[in-house]
Structure 1
Amino acid sequence: MPFAKSSLSIKLQNFPPANRDAVVTLTNPLTGQTLERKPFLDGTLLVRDLDPGQWQIAVKHPNVVGPLYTGVVTTLPVPLPTYVPVPIRPEDFLDTPIQDVPDADLGPVQQTVSAARTTASAVGGKAPGEAIRATDWNQLVSAVSDVATAVLELTSLVSPRGHDHPEIATKIDEVQGNLRRFIESFGNSVLELRRDIESQNLRRLAVKVLDAGGVVGADRDRILQRVDDLEVARQVSTVEYSTKLADAGTVLAAEVQNIAQAQGANAPVFLDNPDVKTMVGITQAFAASAGTLSADQELDTYRRTSLVQRTSKFGGI
């Protein structure tokens, strides 16, 4: 074929300051090949000589805990590169200072009230029975009017008890948003790590069980492929992953029983193998996890498998 390879043209969009330190990771879920590339300052990145098929894209930045972007793209063996726009959310980098609200200038109000006091004092000191002239009355009205104006101005300059601070409320909303995104990213990272640990532990157990049962060839590959499917799907949602986990648990539990039947008279010895017992308990726990809706429920499933295994899942530690 004239075009055996494919290529990707990636463009980071929406937030140019992130382009300088961003790192793009490409992973082929079938071959396990992983490539890391840095885009140009304008956000463009061209990657050539890729195997045609699906590639997982992850964009990371040292100032952000989780990935800025994750997705899957399918490349074709054609001469033109497959174009992939990657939107970067500017809010992932927000850390704006609290808005500086200038202090209210009460000097004019103080001057007005002081002048009104002086004006009112000038017409005071009347003796009993002394006439109040029109000029005195007008001077008093003017002073009262100035005081009223000053009080009205004061109500717009000074906030009452229990007033709102919009600039602080905006900053709190921003901090809460950053915290929510951090918790979500950190939680997803921990969940993906736990899935990876569980799938690797399941693979080690499966290999031991297959060795104990003398399973080779296509049957062995078929069983291990179930574990491979879980490893590839570790970044999907909890609902989708729990479905795959339950299906894998049901199938693998049945496979263990089929291997036991194939042992004939040695079936009781095979089923009494500690690795086989652990494998059966874990697959049954996985099969019972169907319908899991939250990360907490998924982690509860892994806690149950830890009770079944009673040993470390970190490669025999």
Structure 2
Amino acid sequence: MASVPTTQKALEVVQFGDPLKGTLKLNKEAPVPKPGDGQVLVEMKYACLNPADVFTVQGIYPGVKNVTEKKPGFVAGLEGSGKVVATGSGCSLKAGTRVVPLLGERAGSWQQYLVVSEKQCIPVPDDVDDATAAQLFVNPLTVVGMLDEIQQKAPVKDNPWIVQTAANSTLGRMFIQLARKRGLKTINVIRTSATKQELVQLGADEVVVVSEESELSKKILQLTGGKGAAAVVDAVGGEIGTACCSSLAKGGLFQGYGLQSGQPIQVSNSDLIFKDIVIRGFWLAIWFPKQPSSVVQEVFDMLRKKELVPHIQKIFALEDYLEAFKAQFSPDRRGKILFKLT
């Protein structure tokens, strides 16, 4: 068994609120837990900083138990990767096995060591690196899930156009790649032109810069030949999400999966009635448990083949968490923010 320290670094949520204003504390002497029966101790290599993690720190994300119970004093972080360094009795995983721990409502990836049930560990293939594996869960599976829903419930057979907001995010870039692989066309909405050419090179069919358009919905109608979009996937809400929703074709599907603006969309009753559009949300925590276990291996296969390529903006040490959050909030962020833990 590898030598394991008794203390570790852990980034703790000490109160809910603005991540840049004293809500987080780096504990350099947090205890390293010991695995019980059926549990493994994972030495974490990388952990992601996702929008849902921001909402966790703010105290508004319903997917973390400490948030719903209004109890700060915990380690946040929804996903990451590491390797097994110790096991409890009855475990089949061996020390040295690289894994992605599924943390669910407990969270906790922003620390150097964590204990998790062996059943909640996904082994990482040898040809997928640690930084890529750390991004397995939230973004790739959300993209797969949303596209599956679209292909099942939106009129894409006759109209291949899908609009997505926040298209320059890591998830947005993956959406472009997988939609193209499935024969669908994307209209990618971004706020500034800084990443426009990158998205075109990645395979975006159209890129619309909000700051350059007076009427976003009319632009989308123009790009779709007057049909409107078969589907919209929206991470922004507010005016941008509302404009995209109003550009839906008859029978179109709107999927909301984020709220970066902090404002809800407004939906026209006439669109609901006369265009028969459908408005629904997408949350991985609801979709994923209904899927076969093979969906994870499908994502690993796409990562191996470079059909999905997670783009990393920057990797920060845990001590530099304030700079990491500033990078996360940058309007021109081009990829995922990661913490390097060990």
Q: TM-score range by the shorter chain?
A: under 0.3
* More relative contact order, 1 or 2 (CA 8 Å, 6+ apart): 2
For the pair shown, the structure with the greater C-alpha radius of gyration is 1
TM-score normalised by L of structure 2:
0.24
Compare the two structures and name the one with the higher strand fraction: 2
